[in-house]
Structure 1
Amino acid sequence: MTSPGAQDRLSDQSDRRSDARPPAGAGLSRTPPPEARSPGVVPVPLIFLLSVCGYFALQVVFRVLSADNLGLDEAEQLVMGQSLQAGYGPQPPLYTWLFLALQPITGESVLTLALLKFGLLAVTLCATFRLCRQLFGDPLAAAVAALSLLYLPQVFWESQRALTHSVIALAAVALASTVFVDLVTRRRTRDYWLFGAALAACALSKHNALFLPLGLLLAALLLPAARPALLDRRTVWALGLSFLLFAPNLIWMALNGEAVLARSAKLGFDPSTGALDSLSAVGRALLSFALLPALLIGLIALAPDREGKPTWQVSLQVRRLLTLALGLAASFVLLIVLAASVDNMKDRWLTPFLFLAVPVALAWIAPRLTRRRLRMAAAVAVAIAVGSMAALWLRQFLPADWADPPNMEAPFDLLATELPEDGLLLSTSNWVAGNLRLHRPGLSAATPEYKAVLRLPPTGPVLLVWRARDGEAVPQALEALAEEALGRSLPADLPVTILEAPYPGGVPTLALHLVQVAVSP
C-alpha cells in the first residue's frame, strides 16, 4: 500500500514531469507534516479550522448585536461601495469590491461588513497555519505558531475593532506568502498562477501590502536553494497575470493622481525632516508593534520546563527564506521613509509586512518549544482571543463617564429619521455620510474624497450635513462639493437645521447641522 506521503511525492513528480520541470530536489526542501494519528482522533488541521471559524462566527454575532451604527472605516465603505469602480480614492478597491459582492446576499448592512471583516481575519489565520506547516513538522506546533498572530495588538484588537483595508491586506499577504513557499518548495504550475493572483490581491488591498511579497521574491533570488524556482518562465506568467489583474486600478490611479494622494499628508512628508526624526518615528512605531509579542515570546521561551527536546523539526531553509524576506521588506520601508522625510508612522502600518515575524520568531526558538511551552503559548493566544471578544462586547456597557463611547454607538439611527428617504447627501465626513446612508439607503452620498455619484444629476433634494463642532456656516470644502453637484453657487441665507441626539446612556450628544437645497426641475 502506498503511504499518503509517498502519494504526495508521486503527485508532485507527476505534475513536474507534465510541465517538463526539474525534480523537487532542485529547490527548497520542506518538512512534510506528519499525518500519523490514532484511529478516531480528530486531526489538528480540522480542529484549528473549526475553532478559528467558530470564533469569528461568534464575533460576527456579537458585532451585529452590539450596535446598529458604524465605525470610521466601516462607514467609509457605505460611501465608496455605491457602485463598481476601478478605483475609489486613496484606498485600493478590493475591500469595496468584496463588500459589493456580498450586498446581493445580505445588503448594505452591519452584518455584511462584519462577515467581510471577520471572514478575512479567519482567512489570515488559516493561511498562516498552512504556511507554518512548512516551518514546523508538527501540526500542533504549526497551529500554535499561527495563533501567535494574536499576540499583536494590531491583530487581536485594532483589526477586530475598527480596521478594514489593513485587514484585507493582512489576508492577502498571508495568502501570497503561503503560496510563495509552496511555489519554491514544490514548483507546481498551479502555485505560480496562485501566486500571481495573490500578488495582485496584495496590490489591490493596500499599498503597503506589496513590501513582504517583494521581499520574498528578492530573498528567493538571493538564496541558491530557492533561486531555481524563480528562474523559470512560469514566474513571468505569474507576474503577467498579476499585472493584468492590477491593470484597471493602475490605469485609474494614473488618471486620478490627486484622489490617490488625498491622504498623503498624514505621513508627515516634510523636506525639513531630518534622518534622525524619520528614524525616531519608525522606532516608536516598531516599539509599539513589537513590544508585547517580544515580551510574551521571551517569557514562554524562558519558562521553566524539565521536559525533553521537541519531537519536531523546523525547516531551516524555509525559516531562512522568511527571515530574509522580513528583513528586506523592513529595509524597503526604512529607505522610503528616509527618502521621503516621513516624520509620522503608525504601528498598524507595519502589520501587513511584519506580522510573520511572530511565527518566525517561534521558529527560531524552536529548540526550546517543548510540549509544555507550546501549551503555554496556545493558552496565551486563547486568553487574548477570549479577552478581546469580551472587551469588544462589554465596552458598550461601560458608564458614560468612564471612557469616550465607540464611534459605532453614535446615534445616527435617531438622527437619520429627520432626513428624507431619497436625494443626494453631501458631507465632509465619511463617518457621517456612511452612517446616514446606512439608515437611509435611498440616499446617495458624496464626500470630498469620494465623488463618483456626482457624475449623475441628483434626483432629489441635496442635503449638506456637517458636524456642529465645525461651526454653523457651511464649511468651505462642503460648499465647493455642493457647487460641483448643483452646477451653480449655493443660494444665500439658507436655513440651517440642527439635528441632535444623545449617545446610549444619555451622554455625550451628537449634533449635526443640515442644509437642504431643492433641485430645480
Structure 2
Amino acid sequence: MTSDRAWIALIVVWAMVQVAWRFAQGPALELDEAEAFYFARNLALGYNAQPPLYFWLQWLVFAVVGQGILGLALLKYALLGTAGLLLYAMLRRLRPPFEAGVAVMGLGLLPQVLWEAQRALTHSVLALTMALLVMALADRVLRGPGRAGLGAWAALGITAGLGAISKWNVALLPLAILLAACLRAEWRARIDPRGVMLAVVAAAAVVALPFWWVFRNPVVAGGSLHKLGIDEAAPLWRMLAGLGSLASAWIAFCGLVIVVGGLIAFKLRGQARWRPDPQSRLMLVTMGAGAGLLAVGVVLSGVTDVADRWLLPIAVFSAPVFVLWALDSLGPLGGRWLARGLGALWVTGFALLPVSGWVEPGYRAADFAGLAKWIEDRHSDAAVVSDSIWIAGNLALVLPDRPVWRSVDTPELTGAVLWVARQGTAQALAATRGKTAAPAGGHPLRRGGRREAVDLAFSP
C-alpha cells in the first residue's frame, strides 16, 4: 500500500510541475487569466460580477513574486494542490492511504477539474478548494469525536463566508450541508443552535464588505446576470426549460462518472448492495440536498440556462463518492486497475494542455508581443484603452510600464490615448468616453487557428 507521505508528495509535485508546464502553453493569457492579471494589480472591495477573493489572493502573490505568468500559475496550482490535499486529509479519517489517494485521483473524472480548471478557470479553482474545505470542516463538526465546540462552528462559518466571496455559488454548499444534517438523526443531534448562530454571524462578517460593494455597484456586480437566461416566457415554460437545463448541467458535469459507474455497475450486477461509510453518506446526502435546493431556486427565479460549472461546489463530491463505491465493490485487483485508469486520464490531460494554447480558441498563442511593439513604435507616450478584458489584461502584461485600461474602468483621461477595439470601431469606443479620435488602422491578432484584427484609433 502507498503511504501518506507518497500520496502527499505526489500531489505537491504534480502542482509544482504544472507551474512549469504553464510556460509551454503559450506566451499570452487565457480569458480568466487576463481578467485576474488586470484586476489583481490593485486591491479593491469589488471589481466586477465575480467576488473579490481570488483577485485579493492574486494581488498577494504578485506582491511576493512579481506580476507575470509565474504568479498566475503559482496561485492556480497551489489552490488545486491544496484542494487535493484537503480531500485526501478528510478521507484519511476513515480510509487507508491507497483508497484516499485514488479518490483524489477520481476528480479527474470531472472535465471541469481535469481540463477546464487546469486550462482556463480561476475563480472556480478557488471555489473547488473552498468547497472541499467547507466539507472537511463540516465532516469534523457532524462526525468528529464528541460534540463540536464553538471554535469549530466559527471556523466553519468563516470558511463558508470565504467560500461565498470566492464564487457566489459556493454559498449553496453550507445550506445543503445544513439541510442534509437535518435529514438524519445522528447528524441532527450534533447541531448546536449556538454554534449555527455563531457560524452565521462569522460568515456574515466575512461577506459584509464585499456585499456592501455589490449594493453600491449593482450594475457592475450584476454584469453576468444575462447568462442565467431569465426571460419573460410563460411560467410553465420557464420552469420546464430551467429544470431541463439543470438536468443537462448535471449530466455534463458528471457524465464520465455516470458512464464509468454504469459500466462497473453492469459488471457487478447481482452483488450485495453497497453500504456507504459515514463520509460517503454525508457527501451523498449533501449532493441530494443541494440538487433539491438548486431545483427550487431555478423554479422560483425563472432561470432557464444553467452552466455545468455552476454546480461545482455540490457536484464535485460525485467523483470521490463514486471511487469509494468502486473500490469497495471491485476489490483490491479492480481497485488497482481503477487507479491505473485514473492515472492515465491525468497524464493525458497534462500532455494535451499545451495543445489548448495553440488550437481554437487559442488564446494563449495570441501575438500580443507584435501588437505591443506596434504600440511602442508609434504611440510610446499614450495610455491604452480597450473594450476587451482579454486585450487589456494581455497588454498590461506585455506593457508593464504603460497605463492600460478597460474602457468601463477608465479614470479621467487627460493625455494621449490609443483606443484598441475588439468589437466595433475604435473611434466609437473613444466616443463612449466622450473623446474624439482619428483612425489608426487595424492590426492582425492571430489566435490559434483564427486570425482576427483589432481596430485602433488615437486621441492626441
TM-score normalised according to structure 2 size: 0.90
> What SS is found at the alignment partner of 1:84?
coil
Number of the residue aligned with 2:157? 196
Q: 2:250 aligns with which of 286, 295, 319?
A: 286
Matched, 1:323 2:284: yes
Q: Deviations over 1:462-516 (max 9, x none)?
A: 221112xx3445345x632xx2xxxxx322x623232235458xx6434222222
- Return closer, same or farther for 1:280/1:422 CA change in 2, 3 Å cut-off: farther
Q: Deviations over 1:8-44 (max 9, x none)?
A: xxxxxxxxxxxxxxxxxxxxxxxxxxxxxxxxx9x62
CA drift of 1:146 comes to 1.9
CA drift of 1:460 comes to 4.7
Q: 2:111 aligns with which of 139, 153, 157?
A: 153
Distance 2:357 2:33 in 1: 18
CA drift of 1:386 comes to 0.5
- Return closer, same or farther for 1:194/1:444 CA change in 2, 3 Å cut-off: farther
Structure 2 spans left out of the alignment, 5+ residues: none
Matched, 1:441 2:415: no
Aligned residue type for 1:496: A
Matched, 1:345 2:306: yes
Matched, 1:86 2:45: yes
Whether the aligned pair in 1 keeps the contact of 2:103 and 2:323 (CA below 8 Å) is yes
Aligned residue type for 2:431: E
Number of the residue aligned with 2:227? 266
Number of the residue aligned with 1:64? 23
CA drift of 1:220 comes to 1.6
> What SS is found at the alignment partner of 1:269?
coil
Matched, 1:411 2:367: yes
Aligned residue type for 2:249: A
Number of the residue aligned with 1:400? none
CA drift of 1:67 comes to 1.4
Number of the residue aligned with 2:197? 236
Distance 2:300 2:374 in 1: 50
Matched, 1:494 2:443: no
CA drift of 1:364 comes to 4.4
Structure with larger Rg: 1
Whether the aligned pair in 2 keeps the contact of 1:132 and 1:142 (CA below 8 Å) is yes
Paired residues, what number?
Answer: 449
Q: Deviations over 1:301-337 (max 9, x none)?
A: 55589xx99xxx9764333322221111111111222
CA drift of 1:232 comes to 4.4
- Return closer, same or farther for 1:423/1:94 CA change in 2, 3 Å cut-off: farther
Number of the residue aligned with 1:479? 431
> What SS is found at the alignment partner of 1:274?
helix
Whether the aligned pair in 2 keeps the contact of 1:150 and 1:381 (CA below 8 Å) is yes
> What SS is found at the alignment partner of 1:86?
coil
Distance 2:191 2:416 in 1: 58
Structure 1 spans left out of the alignment, 5+ residues: 1-40, 398-402, 484-488
Number of the residue aligned with 1:76? 35
> What SS is found at the alignment partner of 2:304?
coil
Aligned counterparts, 1:320-469, within 5 A = 320-364=281-325, 367-395=328-356, 403-404=359-360, 406-420=362-376, 424-447=383-406, 451=409, 454=411, 457-458=412-413, 460-467=415-422
Distance 1:189 1:315 in 2: 29
Number of the residue aligned with 2:84? 125
- Return closer, same or farther for 1:79/1:46 CA change in 2, 3 Å cut-off: same
Greater Cα shift, 51-60 or 229-238: 229-238
Q: Deviations over 1:83-116 (max 9, x none)?
A: 1111111000011001000012222211111111
Distance 1:216 1:128 in 2: 16
Instruction: Give the CA RMSD over aligned residues.
Output: 2.6
TM-score normalised according to structure 1 size: 0.80
Whether the aligned pair in 2 keeps the contact of 1:301 and 1:369 (CA below 8 Å) is no
- Return closer, same or farther for 1:471/1:199 CA change in 2, 3 Å cut-off: closer
- Return closer, same or farther for 1:502/1:203 CA change in 2, 3 Å cut-off: closer
CA drift of 1:180 comes to 1.0
- Return closer, same or farther for 1:234/1:283 CA change in 2, 3 Å cut-off: closer
Distance 1:274 1:502 in 2: 40
Distance 1:90 1:396 in 2: 26
Distance 2:149 2:414 in 1: 54
Distance 1:407 1:387 in 2: 21
Q: 1:140 aligns with which of 86, 89, 98?
A: 98
CA drift of 1:171 comes to 0.7
Matched, 1:514 2:420: no
Distance 1:71 1:79 in 2: 12
